Chain A
Amino acid sequence: QKEVEQNSGPLSVPEGAIASLNCTYSDRGSQSFFWYRQYSGKSPELIMFIYSNGDKEDGRFTAQLNKASQYVSLLIRDSQPSDSATYLCAVRGDSNYQLIWGAGTKLIIKP
């Protein structure tokens, strides 16, 4: 069974520091990877997607993909208290319409 693993946390990071969130996946053939942010009681909100090995940057966020090692990470630079949320990693499954989800990492940014 295809799986996506994330450390549940909580991960506590001081304000202004870099938060690093990691995700590993079991299916070596996976091609598409997504990071969503979910505030408590709210729905998931897309932060970034990445398809190619290497880094992809968008503002304070950088997604890193290493297909050989089967992990994808999300870096948040200059962390703000508003970044405190659960971060969900999702990997495309067998079909274009299926995402395999991790259970999320809870991030807490301490002022």
Chain B
Amino acid sequence: DAMVIQNPRYQVTQFGKPVTLSCSQTLNHNVMYWYQQKSSQAPKLLFHYYDKDFNNEADTPDNFQSRRPNTSFCFLDIRSPGLGDAAMYLCATSSGRDTDTQYFGPGTRLTVL
């Protein structure tokens, strides 16, 4: 089955220790998204890629970076995690065409100690 895969599912890191989250997709979608979601809140868009074109949301902190080395993979780097970065990180994809629906991976739960 075509799907969006995220690894790891759970990540524990220490305050200030860099961490990388990964996302891969077999849907062959052009667009990939990274969201941050905290408890009882709406998902917050951090970035998206249309193919290789990177789009950063205006209020995404500089501490968050992203890479998309190819169509299938996308990475989220948190350079110096703070306690406030503990959250669920969601990767989503969409085709990039007019009737655009976003499909989510299972998420990575990040804990910062």
A residues in contact (CB < 8 Å) with B: 4, 8, 32, 34, 41-46, 49, 51, 88, 92, 96-99, 101-104
Contacts and interface: CB of A to CB of B under 8 A. Distances in A.
Nearest to A6: B42
Interface stretch (B66-74, B78-86, B94-102): B94-102
B19 interface: no
Given A34-B101, A97-B33, A97-B100, A103 B106 contact: no
Nearest to A96: B100
**Chief secondary structure at chain A's binding surface:** loop
Chain B, interface size category, equals 20 to 34
Of listed B55, B103, B104, residue having the most chain A CB within 10 A: B104
A96 B100 CA distance: 7
Given A43-B90, A97-B94, A103 B40 contact: yes
Contacts of B101: 34, 46, 49
A10 B40 CA distance: 12
Nearest to B44: A101
A98 B109 CA distance: 23
A45 B42 contact: no
A98 B88 CA distance: 19
A43 B102 contact: no
B31 interface: yes
